Chains A and B, each alone.
Chain A
Amino acid sequence: MHMQQSINSRRDFLKKAAIAGGGLVLGFSWFGADGEAPAVLKGPFPEKSIGFNSYLSIAADGRVTILSPNPELGQNIMTSFPMIVAEELDADWTKVKVEQAALDTKSFDRQLTGGSGAVPHSWKRLRMAGATARAMLIQAAATQWSVPVTECTASDGFVLHAASGKKAGFGELAALAATLQVPKDVPLKDRKDFKIIGHAVKNVANKGIVTGKPMFGLDFYREGMLFAMIQRPPAFGTKIKTVDSASAKAMPGIIDVVVFKNNVAVVGKSTWEIIKARKLLKVEYENEGAIESRSDHNAIFRTVMDNGKPEVKRKDGDVEAAFASAVKIIKAEYQCPFLSHSPMEPMNFFAHVKADGVELVGPSQTPASARTAVSKLLNISEDKITLELTRLGGGFGRRLKFDYVLEAAELSSIIKAPVKLIWTREDDMTGGNYRPAVRYHFEAALDAKGNLVGYKCRGVGINAGNLVREDNFPSGAVDNLLIESIDYKSPITTGAWRAPITNFLGFAEQAFIDEVAEAAGKDPVQFRLELLSKARITPAGAIKYNIDRMEGVIKMAAEKSGWGIKKPGISQGFSVYFSHQSYVAQVCEVVLQTGKPVVKKIYAAADCGQVINLSGARQQVMGGITDGFGHAMYSKLSFKNGAAEQSNFHNYRLIRMKEIPEIEPYFVDNGIDPTGLGEPALPPTGGAVANAIYKATGKRLRNQPFMDEPVFSGKA
């Protein structure tokens, strides 16, 4: 039986492990990718230990406890990390217990969730953690049995000596193993011997989730804790002028109303009481910055695109000459709206600022940065701040920001009480940190043979930072290329949203490439393969993607989807994208029903290197595609007089069950180390869908959400 629970500290963990019965507790410290040998811990954890990043303990009864340090938000890290350790340990997976570690920067490295980077970053050190322990257990058995260590093997939680038939459980050997010298240069398994990695393993939290066990931030309750909600400025570009809180304060259950920064916080004894009281606040706001509406954003895109000063991100060859001598020039612009992250669990955090330190509990993708920020805000040293991670009810990048952690901490320091700060859905959707709205202008130059000889991309974004990925395909495959970015500063706050920038750029680039292939009179798959072939033989400038891996997923997606084979009534669209460190190609199939396009199916070929958990990997691909498809089709956040026009799920549309296409994921098995999968399946989806819809209808979709385009809305 797998169990999941949260524990407060490493010491707590060690104490529990010790109580479990004279077991082996290993702390592993590596300072580089290849690392140093770990040290066996005896007795209390040494105070000066630094750089520790991964732990496992083995109890006398054979149970293996594996601590998972990274925030879990649905990427399934709490299952996949322990799988890696257990594989090299040769543990019996049914006896593995997983625990979420609290924030502990002394013991763990990169204790965050973002950038599809957790498994790639930790892969080797997790394997070493398991392999080193296995070697010590085998050594212990060999010593005990007085047989050569080379004759002993480990399997499913036991050490075996084939010649004598001797067999001992890890739990029986743990005490002796703990007294042995820690080996260096322990060999790792050959991947052909993997019994756990690469297989479908169920989420260790399933049982708790399906029975409603408390595990999320909002589920954290403490005796005597107060509840708080904040009224924030209703429009971006405004600030508080006056506050009248008398009616709110008079409501039952209300303890106080506190004004700090641009926040009016209502503090009370229960959630419903503060929701009701907050509605009675009378707060006047005044303008302090630009008050923008949807129409302003469209005007900004046009003006900045045509007259703005771009930052040149990449320039290869002679672009002007290439376009001057072109036989055909293709131009198109693509635009997307702001989006809300809308994880199902709204923002929340518990904070208790006491005389001797600060206790923080809640969901965060970046607990270490959050603690540092709280330390600076309250001028309390970090070693006096504890942060316990709960499970995250989704993140999608929203919880990379820790504004809500700071709000909770500041409020607790003012009211001098333990408090749980809760955002409502409306607070979340109107409160900023959005996926930025962006617009791209593309131009392509073709020669007489239909070769792509010139390529330009200029992106304009609203608080988007660098909104191009200048080294991505087709860079390197086009001799004359210009990639430019212009960012416009707005009071509307933005942030990373699952597959930052590429969540829309992937669509825009891949839809435009489809337009270019058509103009060149070439098959879209063949066109891409020819470009990659050119990049390999005569590269233009630096190539920062792996041509073989990209070709691999293109060919696999084409083969699995029957690309080029006529299917009656079905139109196919192709797309491929490299993001973070992985490659995903997709083929979308569209049919026409009463004249309107319906997306029926999406095939996906993913190269994320070694798949850790086949079940989790399929989920990430299917979920990523559903996410990318749903937002491309339905979602938008727009503004009127500085305020978001959408506030909850009645007017902000998310994809629901009836709208999902069938999805068929495949994985390239090429034996390379894992390269991440939380995000890479999302960026190609919009392009595959738009290209298939074009095939079916003859209409190019260049703006998201697609539902607002004439082909769906019926409006010209």
Chain B
Amino acid sequence: MPVYNLQINGKQLTADVAADTPLLWVLRDHLGLLGTKYGCGIAQCGACTVHMNGVAMRSCSLPVSAVRTAAITTIEGLSVDGDHPLQKAWDETDVPQCGYCQAGQIMTAAALLKRNPHPSLTEIEDTMQGNICRCGAYHRIREAIQLASKKI
């Protein structure tokens, strides 16, 4: 199997896996980065969202061979101490219920705020439409993104 040298959260990590292995399973099974979640496997729920060169990507549908030298950021690498404005806003707004989808929600929102620190409500909703929260915490997710946006 080929060996892939990946740039993840500012570190170079190596995985010896089949070329078609989705980045999600490389992160989880081979690199011990468990914050990125499996929800659907077909890029429909957003639980597996990571950043590739700062852009939100569904890692369940991203073959490791396509990553090449791109900089990958996972929820573990979003901030040094969980102090990204969104992470703080998530706590302040008390967003999580079961919590399973939240890493993916935060990563999708973080990519949005990176390219547009002050999005309109419609832009927030359009961007977050790809992330499912089965507990229905959408109101607080939206509120937390708006709160973080205000603090940037």
Contacts of A73 in B (CB 8 A): 98
| Given the contacts A211-B76, A272-B29, A252 and B97 also touching, CB distance less than 8 Å | no
Q: Complex Cα distance A431/B55, Å?
A: 35
Whether, in the assembled complex, A214 has its beta carbon less than 8 Å from a beta carbon of chain B, the answer is yes
Whether, in the assembled complex, A663 has its beta carbon less than 8 Å from a beta carbon of chain B, the answer is yes
B114-152 vs A: 1/0 string, CB under 8 Å?
Answer: 000000000001101111111111111110000000000
Q: Complex Cα distance A138/B56, Å?
A: 55
Whether, in the assembled complex, A441 has its beta carbon less than 8 Å from a beta carbon of chain B, the answer is no
From B1, B97, B99, B140, residue with most partner A Cβ within 10 Å: B99
Total contacting residues, chain A, CB less than 8 A: 63
Q: Complex Cα distance A210/B35, Å?
A: 9
B98 and A74 within 8 A (CB) = yes
A270 and B94 within 8 A (CB) = no
Whether, in the assembled complex, A202 has its beta carbon less than 8 Å from a beta carbon of chain B, the answer is yes
From B38, B79, B106, residue with most partner A Cβ within 10 Å: B38
Whether, in the assembled complex, A450 has its beta carbon less than 8 Å from a beta carbon of chain B, the answer is no
Whether, in the assembled complex, B8 has its beta carbon less than 8 Å from a beta carbon of chain A, the answer is no
B98 and A210 within 8 A (CB) = no
What's the least CB distance linking A205 to chain B, in Å? Answer: 6
B96 and A206 within 8 A (CB) = yes
Q: Complex Cα distance A624/B134, Å?
A: 10
Whether, in the assembled complex, B100 has its beta carbon less than 8 Å from a beta carbon of chain A, the answer is yes
Contacts of B97 in A (CB 8 A): 74-76, 619, 623
A623 and B94 within 8 A (CB) = no
Whether, in the assembled complex, A615 has its beta carbon less than 8 Å from a beta carbon of chain B, the answer is yes
Whether, in the assembled complex, A216 has its beta carbon less than 8 Å from a beta carbon of chain B, the answer is yes
- Write the chain B residue with the least CB distance to A253: B18
B94 and A619 within 8 A (CB) = yes
Contacts of A632 in B (CB 8 A): none
B141 and A657 within 8 A (CB) = yes
Whether, in the assembled complex, A425 has its beta carbon less than 8 Å from a beta carbon of chain B, the answer is yes
Contacts of A660 in B (CB 8 A): 136, 138-139
Contacts of A276 in B (CB 8 A): 18, 20
Q: Complex Cα distance A424/B30, Å?
A: 19
Contact of A344 among B22, B29, B101, B140 (CB under 8 A): B101
**A616-653: which residues lie under 8 A (CB-CB) from chain B?**
619, 622-627, 630, 648-650
Q: Complex Cα distance A628/B129, Å?
A: 19
B100-115 vs A: 1/0 string, CB under 8 Å?
Answer: 1111001000000000
B39 and A344 within 8 A (CB) = yes
| Given the contacts A271-B28, A272-B22, A658-B129, A200 and B37 also touching, CB distance less than 8 Å | no
Contacts of B54 in A (CB 8 A): none
Contact of A630 among B34, B79, B136 (CB under 8 A): B136
A210 and B138 within 8 A (CB) = no
Q: Complex Cα distance A227/B126, Å?
A: 37
- Write the chain A residue with the least CB distance to B130: A656
A391 and B99 within 8 A (CB) = yes
| Given the contacts A73-B98, A271-B25, A657 and B142 also touching, CB distance less than 8 Å | yes
A648 and B42 within 8 A (CB) = yes
Whether, in the assembled complex, A698 has its beta carbon less than 8 Å from a beta carbon of chain B, the answer is no
Contact of B96 among A210, A216, A625 (CB under 8 A): A210
Q: Complex Cα distance A202/B96, Å?
A: 9
Whether, in the assembled complex, A367 has its beta carbon less than 8 Å from a beta carbon of chain B, the answer is no
A203 and B136 within 8 A (CB) = no
Contacts of A74 in B (CB 8 A): 96-99, 135
Contacts of A649 in B (CB 8 A): 40, 42, 44-45, 132
Whether, in the assembled complex, A244 has its beta carbon less than 8 Å from a beta carbon of chain B, the answer is no
Q: Complex Cα distance A393/B142, Å?
A: 20
Whether, in the assembled complex, A345 has its beta carbon less than 8 Å from a beta carbon of chain B, the answer is yes
- Write the chain B residue with the least CB distance to A615: B94
Q: Complex Cα distance A663/B137, Å?
A: 12
Contact of B38 among A346, A619, A657 (CB under 8 A): A346
A425 and B41 within 8 A (CB) = yes
| Given the contacts A619-B94, A657-B129, A221 and B40 also touching, CB distance less than 8 Å | no
Contacts of A72 in B (CB 8 A): 98
| Given the contacts A74-B135, A252-B18, A657-B125, A345 and B100 also touching, CB distance less than 8 Å | yes
Contacts of A595 in B (CB 8 A): none
Whether, in the assembled complex, A459 has its beta carbon less than 8 Å from a beta carbon of chain B, the answer is no
Contacts of B91 in A (CB 8 A): 202, 206-207, 210
Contacts of A615 in B (CB 8 A): 94
Q: Complex Cα distance A625/B138, Å?
A: 12
| Given the contacts A619-B140, A623-B136, A657 and B128 also touching, CB distance less than 8 Å | yes
Q: Complex Cα distance A210/B29, Å?
A: 21
Contact of B76 among A202, A207, A212 (CB under 8 A): A212
Contact of B100 among A210, A216, A658 (CB under 8 A): A216
A69-112 vs B: 1/0 string, CB under 8 Å?
Answer: 00011111000000000000000000000000000000000000
Known: A203-B96, A627-B135, A654-B132. 20 other contacts (CB 8 A): A74-B135, A203-B99, A211-B78, A212-B35, A216-B100, A252-B1, A270-B29, A272-B20, A272-B21, A272-B22, A343-B100, A391-B98, A393-B98, A393-B100, A424-B41, A425-B42, A619-B137, A622-B140, A649-B40, A649-B132
What are 26 sample pairs from A and B whose C-beta atoms fall under 8 A apart?
A: A73-B98, A205-B96, A206-B90, A206-B91, A206-B96, A209-B99, A210-B75, A211-B76, A211-B78, A211-B79, A227-B29, A272-B25, A273-B18, A275-B41, A276-B20, A344-B45, A344-B134, A393-B101, A425-B40, A619-B97, A619-B137, A622-B136, A648-B44, A649-B132, A656-B138, A660-B139
